[in-house]
Amino acid sequence: MLSFFVFGRKSKLYRFDKEGNQWKERGVGIVKLLKHKESGRVRLVMRQTKTLKICANHLVLPTMTVQEHQGNDKSCVWHVADFADGELKEETFCIRFASVENCKAFKDRIEEITESQANDRGENQEAATAASLIEKLSVEGDKPEAKEAPLSSEEKKDDNEKLDKSTN
């Protein structure tokens, strides 16, 4: 297995339907945060309990912000590009947990992940900047004298004529 379990709680997921201007239930199941062993990237995955159909499948990015849903302490809202339906599309999600503690734990875990990824990105940016500066550096030592380029036939004639005039 290429990823390991970071977080998991039973919850109910909703997506916002822009056309109907309402929340639609996506499914009930365990929301999981899975961290890839090699890349360190974290993915949010949720499957419906009975059918195992994927409800949510997207990366947790440094730009992602999870906010408390107005009027309900047990739910959170976020906006992200999701791949649950087999195609990448922008979605607004709301997730509701059984308790306020579970919701807070989810929100805190997402914030930890986004902060650590932002810090990693900053370190990577510093490394890239340092690498580009090193590429620009050059070692200047004793340079060999420049050799004259071979003369064309016309230049040779001109030089010979100048030489003839100076000797006469």
Task: Give, in order, the Cα–Cα distances in Å from 21 to each of 16, 80, 110, 144.
Answer: 7, 18, 27, 75
Q: How far is CA 57 from the centre of its chain?
A: 15
What's the confidence (pLDDT) of residue 45? 95
Domain ranges of the chain: 3-122
CA–CA distance, 51 with 29 (Å, rounded to integer): 10
CA dist., res. 134 & res. 151, Å (int):
39
pLDDT at 96: 97
Q: What is the pTM of this model?
A: 0.68
User: What is the pLDDT at residue 148?
Assistant: 54
pLDDT given at position 71: 86
Provide the residue count of the chain.
168
Beta strands in 114-168 (DSSP E): none
Topology given in CATH for the domain delimited by 3-122:
PH-domain like (2.30.29)
Mean pLDDT split into 10-residue runs, the chain, 168 residues: 83 94 96 92 94 94 91 93 87 96 95 87 57 56 52 60 58
Q: What is the pLDDT of residue 5?
A: 84
CB atoms within 10 A of CB 64: 18
pLDDT at 27: 96
Structural contact between residues 151 and 159, judged by C-beta atoms closer than 8 angstroms: yes
